[in-house]
Structure 1
Amino acid sequence: MRSPISGYTRLTKVHKFSAAGIAAAGAAALAFALVPGASADGNGQQAASVKPVAWNASSFGATQSDELSKQSDNAAKQAKADAEAKKKADAEAAAKAKADKERADKEAASRSEERKPVKAAPAPAPKTYANNLDGWIKEALDIMHAKGIPGTYNGLYRNIMRESTGNPNAINNWDSNAAAGIPSKGLLQVIDPTFKAYHVDGTSWNIYDPVANITAACNYAAKVYGSMDNVNSAY
């Protein structure tokens, strides 16, 4: 096709590439010729020719694509591994938190149980005694032992039977004490001054009360004779 301006044939894209290639080849040949030692040296030897390096654009693109794909796969694997590690760590943390809470709840419950007031044991029922000579002696002995006053059942019984034959209201109106206006009274025939001086706390102030009479007489005998057990006659 003729150019309307120059009259020369228009170059196609292929022609342009071909011309460019020829020009480049010529420039390369000229450059090689100018390099020292590129032509025949002084000995007439020719310089070694340089083999052109082949370059394939499609091959380079495929290699780069493979590398990117490999990097992408590695990144995906790493992301998956990180996600699994996080999931495992979260599960372990949740299990630990649950165990800690259960242990704390158990300890709190245990402390709560420890703080519960302990019910006091019911007070023992008061000891009862028969309202007779046997019961009076036993009750008197319990009081005497609590107060540290010596005496035994047999020692008390023996002296009571000699002094009053077991009558708590007995009174002696014929001996020297009676003559002096202070007759002996009760189970162990105690005069009023002696009863008042050796009265045992917690017992009646009535001299005819069996238990009060016994404990006061035994308290006096302990001071004078060491024990009522040591008395074998009027005292």
Structure 2
Amino acid sequence: MKPPNGWGPSGPPPTTGAPAPLVDRARWIGAAVEVLINHGVDPAKINPEQIAQIVDRTSGGNPHAVNLQDPNAANGFPPKGICQLPDPVFDQHKVPGYEDIWQPVDNMLAGIKYFLAEWGSLLNALQGALGQPSAPVITPQ
């Protein structure tokens, strides 16, 4: 099902996908933590278990998940990927060299940076908005 106003700049998912095995999720989280530390994020702010909880709550572990029920979908920016980020949020927080919203590590990097910027900590993100991290509603320009 296509969102009413399109898929946004990154287009539709490459496949419908499915929840990834826990071993893959753990590998992606480990890679994301390493990249974030190498890019200056305080390791004390990066809790792999909290990242895993965010992934489970937002996408169920499916790197190709798309939320067509989110208000952003009606505006042409459905949340996408393993951390469920609308294209503009992903673009604002992506790490150079990790710029594919559909790649789980790339999406996690932007998601973690967004959650830290928006909520101050991953725990706050987990506890915010009825336990669901939420992205701001994006309106087309």
TM superposition score normalised by structure 1 = 0.42
For residue 173 of structure 1, report the CA deviation from its aligned partner: 0.9
Q: Supply the distance in 2 between the matched residues of 1:145 and 1:221 (Cα, whole angstroms).
A: 16
Letter in 1 for 2:119: Y
Matched, 1:195 2:90: yes
* Greater share of helix: 1
CA contact (8 A) 2:93 2:110 kept: yes
Once the two structures are aligned, what percentage of the paired residues are identical?
33
Deviation at 1:180, TM superposition (A): 1.1
**Residue pair 2:95, 2:110 contacting (<8 A) in 1 also:** yes
C-alpha deviation, 1:223, in angstroms: 1.3
Shift of 1:230: 2.1
Residue correspondences, number: 105
Which residue of structure 2 lines up, in the alignment, with residue 234 of structure 1?
A: 133
For 2:39, give the aligned amino acid.
K
Report the alpha carbon displacement of residue 228 of structure 1 after superposing the two structures with TM: 2.3
Please say if 1:151 is aligned against 2:43: no
Once the two structures are TM-superposed, the CA of residue 225 in structure 1 deviates from its matched residue by: 1.2
Alignment of 1:115-130 (within 5 A): none
Name structure 2 gaps, 5 residues minimum. Answer: 1-22, 127-131, 135-141
Quote the Cα distance in structure 1 between the aligned partners of 2:52 and 2:65: 15
C-alpha separation between the residues in 1 aligned to 2:94 and 2:123? 19
The alignment's TM-score, normalised by the length of structure 2, stands at: 0.69
> Where does residue 79 of structure 2 map in the other structure?
184
SS at match of 2:97: coil
Aligned to 1:100: none
Structure 1 unaligned segments of length 5 or more: list them.
1-130
Q: Which amino acid aligns with 2:86?
A: I
Q: Equivalent residue for 2:112?
A: 218
Find the aligned partners of 2:39 and 2:121 in 1 and give their Cα distance.
14
Residue of structure 1 equivalent to 2:62? 167
